[in-house]
Structure 1
Amino acid sequence: MDAATTLFETHRARLFGLAYRMLGTPADAEDVVHEAWLRLHAQAPVALDDPEAWLVTVTTRLALDRLRRAKAEREHYVGPWLPEPLADEADAPDATLERGESLTLSFLLLLERLSPEERAAFLLHEVFDYSHAEAAAILGIAEDACRQRVHRAKARLHEGRPRFQVDGAAQRRLLERFVAAMAEPRLDTLRALFAEDAVHVSDGGGVARATLHPLHGADRLARLYLQLARNLAGVRYEFTTLNGAPALFMLHGDSLASAMWIECDDEHITAIHALRHPEKLARIHAVTNPAASASLH
């Protein structure tokens, strides 16, 4: 490999991790990282004082521009928008990065509360450990302005953060209970799964059948899933891992009909997210191996 390629590959996982957390979709993150690669090749790497800082700066600013456009487009999105998961594969571009809370789908959705500028400052300082001064230089703003953005972002995220932080084992147990309840659907069994103030969010993008607004309350969620269970002939569920957390695929024949993940306390589901957009599902299905997942029929 030439010097530019070697340099780029050294930092690629970090650049992808930053772009993905900024944008919430792997394809957009890959586009940003590819554009950063092209810009690096237009440079003479040996002339760069700090190649890593240069690459992070270019990637951040490209992601910011794309996120601003995406925010405007999402204002016209049909129904709720959910981030697109990463398959949990050893050769995924983000595989060398720690899969902490900042990579979970619930946290990526929480980041949607922030403005693009707040999101960039928060991620650089809180997730990627740049100082306020370093993050400000990357963003091209004053250090005080960067500090204020991080402070506002932390306050907004604190307001929306789930009340409970539960490990993956508890999520897996509740997903198993959910699958069992869907196999023999009864209103009382389904209702017992959900916290009183549980919320259901479904992303169909106006293309697939999905609720157009979040649904709230154990009663409404139990009735929704009772109806779905009675109407879903020939569906099977497969357990998987998305963004480092337990998740559930719902398959109809060879097609992935839904990808689901939850938030929970020790005993109840507090939020359930269902990704039903066909294009997003097709991309997930293309890079996963459902046959290797533990499955229930």
Structure 2
Amino acid sequence: MTDRQLLLNVAYRLLGSYHDAEDAVQETYARWAALDDGQRQGIDSPDAWNVRVIGRVCLDMLGSARARREQYVGEWLPEPLPDAASDPAERVTLDESVSMALMVVLESLTPAERVSFVLHDVFGMSFDEVATIVGRSPDAVRQLASTARRHIRDRRQAAEPDRSEHARVVAEFATACMTGDLQTLLPLLDPSVVAVSDGGGKARAALNPIFGAQNVARFLLGLMNKAVDTEFSFEPVNGELGIVARSGGLVYATGSVGIRDGRLTNVWMTLNPDKLTKWNEALTAQTIES
């Protein structure tokens, strides 16, 4: 049986949702189980076979996800992941390919572009192999990956800072928010900064993006004023330092940022409780056991 973590790594990068990635893994396992012994013996590499299958499963799910997200309440963000899971088999490896900045841009690609880019550029599959998944010629897949790569480069505009610089800016940003000082916060924000919050209709959040340093700063400070009985901590979110908000021991929000030239260009806040289950599963398990 193919390593579950490998399949989760592929599926999360393709779907942006841990819950959907789990569903894709289960569907892949079901298709393997449906093979008879003769069919399995004819497969030289079960790992390669399962990766191809999960690629097809995710391609289909991406198509239906677009329709679902049109009905989503407010803005949709990729599901943020903590640094570790209770079970190693359930962990998604966190590296630059799952930074929130990249995951958000991946959402703007077509399903075929996303599959082609992730499987080739992130997982090193050949264009011939990817072609069998997306149902295009190898040359067409090469073009899809190139288009995706160009789109990602254009959207991100500049190289992300290294992790130490990222952590420094996040710490300064959090301190400015917590002190409530507008004049300290404003210089940390790019003039064209955009803040997006995802409540999914299940938590209070801005339904539309907020643009501009003044508007974003006032929005953030307004949130801080309402954050009573909240504990804030610096923790990795999708492998990069972010801000995590807890109340009563439970995570109710995570924050990630995009940075360019030492200032924040993006603020991504996830408040939809359905997207925070991985953050709270350890505490939930302790509660059930007690």
For normalisation by structure 2, the TM-score amounts to 0.89
Say whether 1:185 aligns with 2:177.
no
Code of the residue aligned with 2:273 in structure 1: it is P
Structure 1's consecutive aligned runs of 4 or more residues displaced over 4 angstroms after TM superposition are 94-97
Code of the residue aligned with 1:107 in structure 2: it is L
Q: Deviations over 1:16-45 (max 9, x none)?
A: 111111111111111111111122122232
CA distance in 1, matches of 2:43, 2:162: 43
Mean CA deviation greater in 194-203 or 228-237: 228-237
Given that 2:80 and 2:254 are in contact with CA atoms closer than 8 Å, whether structure 1 keeps it comes out as no
CA distance in 2, matches of 1:189, 1:230: 16
CA distance in 2, matches of 1:234, 1:100: 32
- The corresponding residue for 1:81 is 76
Say whether 1:108 aligns with 2:103.
yes
Unaligned runs of 5+ in 2: 285-290
CA distance in 1, matches of 2:31, 2:201: 36
CA distance in 2, matches of 1:215, 1:96: 30
Code of the residue aligned with 1:112 in structure 2: it is E
Code of the residue aligned with 1:26 in structure 2: it is Y
- The corresponding residue for 1:231 is 226
Unaligned runs of 5+ in 1: 1-6, 290-297
Say whether 1:69 aligns with 2:61.
no
Q: Deviations over 1:210-263 (max 9, x none)?
A: 111111111111111222222222222011112211111112233322100111
Match of 1:217 among 212, 215, 222: 212
Match of 1:123 among 96, 112, 118: 118
- The corresponding residue for 2:147 is 152
1:95, distance to aligned residue in structure 2 (A): 5.0
Given that 2:195 and 2:209 are in contact with CA atoms closer than 8 Å, whether structure 1 keeps it comes out as yes
For normalisation by structure 1, the TM-score amounts to 0.87
Map residues 1-297 of structure 1 onto 2, 5 A cutoff: 7-9=1-3, 12-43=4-35, 44=37, 45-89=40-84, 91-93=87-89, 95=91, 97=93, 99-265=94-260, 267-287=262-282
CA distance in 2, matches of 1:258, 1:124: 31
Code of the residue aligned with 2:21 in structure 1: it is A
Code of the residue aligned with 2:23 in structure 1: it is D
Count of residues in Structure 1 that have an aligned counterpart in Structure 2:
280
Q: 1:184 to 1:50 in 2, by over 3 A?
A: closer
Code of the residue aligned with 1:177 in structure 2: it is E
Code of the residue aligned with 2:164 in structure 1: it is A
Determine helix, strand or coil for the equivalent of 1:54: helix
- The corresponding residue for 1:293 is none
CA distance in 1, matches of 2:83, 2:162: 17
Code of the residue aligned with 2:262 in structure 1: it is E
Q: Deviations over 1:31-65 (max 9, x none)?
A: 11111112212223222133222111111111111
1:106, distance to aligned residue in structure 2 (A): 1.5
1:94, distance to aligned residue in structure 2 (A): 6.7
Given that 1:196 and 1:218 are in contact with CA atoms closer than 8 Å, whether structure 2 keeps it comes out as yes
1:266, distance to aligned residue in structure 2 (A): 5.0
Given that 1:164 and 1:264 are in contact with CA atoms closer than 8 Å, whether structure 2 keeps it comes out as no
Code of the residue aligned with 2:10 in structure 1: it is L
CA distance in 2, matches of 1:56, 1:174: 38
